[in-house]
Amino acid sequence: MHRQECLRYLFLQSVMHPWMSLQGAGIVVEWRADGKNVIAKLKKLLGPLWWYSALLFCVMRMGDVVNAYIGGFLVPSMLPMEQLGAVRPLLGFVGIAGIPIGFLAMVTLKYLNVFAERGEAGCAKGLLRDALVAAVAFAGVVGVAVWWLKPGLMERLKIDDSQILLWFVVLVLLGGVAGIVSSAVRALKLYNYIVFGALPSPFFRWVAMWVFLPLWGVRGYLAAQSVMTVAGFSVAAVAVWRYFYRDGDGDVAATMYRRYWGEMGRYAAPLLLSMSAGAMVIPMEDFIIRHRLATDVSAAVYVLKTFVEIPTYMVGPIIVFLFPMVSSKFEQGESTRKLLFQSMGMTLLLSLGCAAALQVVAPWLFGLQDSWRVGLPYAGIIGVVGLSTACRLTVDCFVVHEQACRRFRYLRFYIPIILLQTLGLYGLMGWGFFEPYLPQCLWQAVEAWPVRTLPFVLWWSAAWQGLLLLCVVFSLTKGRELPRLRH
């Protein structure tokens, strides 16, 4: 009887408190220890770049299901075709308007990392504070400029709701603040917060799209993007606040970082040129398509690029962690070429694989949904868009690496190629503004050249991006890694 009571007691304990029962047997403690050892070994084997990239990849894949539904089903079904084509150009103009803030965020990222490596917490805090103030002030300047240019912008974007431009400014403001905060998290190597901070954004975006799209159309799309931005940087903001205020105000007065303005200026000047050139390619292409071609063509581009951007879901986490890791190694005098070659190789393989798969399945895929059928006439050239994207993302890895190492020799070929790609496309698609200042024979030749088609635009982009990648490969075979800059 005593034995039966003991067995009954153990059974009840195992049902009501299984964790406690197993722990009494030493199983849980041993499992926890083994699990930690396995994770530690795996993290050491992969290295920080691939470990955190893999974690962020897994987290972002949850959101990608939501984003794919939003971009592929929700938005095309809720927006009329004539409005659908305006989405990408508007977001592109947000990117162009945010170039100065993005530039400020990159300088902040680099020198927050530098100050963290030097142990100057006060300098880091002062730089972050001033960067946030500058981002808010610049958003005000953008608001004034948009209001002044409102008639021209509305005409060229083919929109009739002036409040769209108000949400445009809001998105620039929130994007600027989010960019600064995100740079701080990356520079301070708070990688866990980057990973888990990516969780809420797509779900907030999903709910916001359901609420705002039926009410406001394109304006609702921008409002939903704003909600997503706030949700995305909230976790990062808490992380940065806790980092700086856990030990008081730091060991150096916050304004002392200004003694490094000369050093920061020497880094910032070429960085501004690089970011300005890189940020204009995709937005200008989308703008030219929207402005010069029919509205159904720009709607088709939305569908094509929604699917082609799938590779960015996979390689995006690499870019997020590449800059701070390369920057830290560079500041410590360590070699960074292994990280560069790994990131470029993986990005190129994944992107080309996705492009090839889309080329095969696109005709079938676009026929699955009525709102996707607008892309069917161009399904045969989706591989061209994928090739251009693969080259661009691979070049981005190289550019991010060089920026983290404070090297800008690549600008000798990077800026000319991008300018020729962008200005050449704009010129060939028609540039009536310059007609009075150019020879009439040149104008007639351009007007007679039948290039105002979407395939021409896409092939043009792919050719120039391929040339840019070839120049990057050539520079890597001929160049050598420079030593760390002296402070």
In order of 96, 148, 403, the CA distances from 103 in angstroms are: 11, 24, 12
Same-domain pairing of 202 and 293: no
Q: Which two tokens stand for residue 223?
A: 């409002």
Last residue of a domain, one of 220, 251, 282: 251
Same-domain pairing of 285 and 199: no
Spatial contact of 122 and 256, defined as CB atoms under 8 Å apart? yes
Same-domain pairing of 227 and 83: yes
Question: Which residue is listed with tokens 């490969």?
Answer: 473
Residue 424: inside a domain, yes or no?
A: yes
Same-domain pairing of 366 and 457: yes
Same-domain pairing of 215 and 298: no
Residue 16 has pLDDT above 60, yes or no: no
Same-domain pairing of 433 and 327: yes
Which one is predicted more confidently, 190 or 108? 108
Give the model confidence (pLDDT) of 361-413 as tens digits.
888 988 888 878 888 888 888 889 889 989 999 999 999 999 888 899 999 99
Of 81-95, 183-197, 397-411, 456-470, the least confident: 183-197
Residue 265: inside a domain, yes or no?
A: no
Spatial contact of 88 and 295, defined as CB atoms under 8 Å apart? no
CA contacts within 13 A on the Cβ side of 228: 23
Q: How far apart are CA 243 and CA 256, in angstroms?
A: 19
Instruction: Return the closest-CA partner of residue 330 out of 109, 477, 485.
Output: 485
Look at residue 162 in the predicted model and tell me its pLDDT. 81
Helix ranges, 405-450 (H): 411-428, 440-448
Q: Which two tokens stand for residue 9?
A: 């007691």
Name the domain count of the chain.
2
Give the model confidence (pLDDT) of 130-162 as tens digits.
888 898 998 889 889 888 988 888 887 778 888
Same-domain pairing of 407 and 294: yes
Residue 22 has pLDDT above 50, yes or no: no
Residue 319: inside a domain, yes or no?
A: yes
Helix (H) or strand (E) holding 217: none
Residue 62: inside a domain, yes or no?
A: no
Residue 139: inside a domain, yes or no?
A: yes
Residue 15 has pLDDT above 50, yes or no: no
Residue 422: inside a domain, yes or no?
A: yes
First to last CA, the chain: 81
Same-domain pairing of 102 and 206: yes
Residue 40: inside a domain, yes or no?
A: no
**CB burial of residue 89 (10 Å; 0-12, 13-18, 19+):** buried
Same-domain pairing of 98 and 133: yes
Give the model confidence (pLDDT) of 269-283 as tens digits.
898 888 888 877 888
Q: What is the percent of the chain with per-residue pLDDT over 70, rounded to a whole number?
A: 76
Same-domain pairing of 203 and 277: no
Last residue of a domain, one of 201, 216, 251: 251
Instruction: Return the closest-CA partner of residue 389 out of 482, 292, 274, 312.
Output: 312
Same-domain pairing of 167 and 120: yes
Spatial contact of 160 and 21, defined as CB atoms under 8 Å apart? no
CA contacts within 13 A on the Cβ side of 391: 20
The stretch 92-115 carries a mean pLDDT of 83
Residue 68: inside a domain, yes or no?
A: no
State which residues form the domain around 281: 270-474
Same-domain pairing of 372 and 402: yes
Last residue of a domain, one of 251, 278, 313: 251
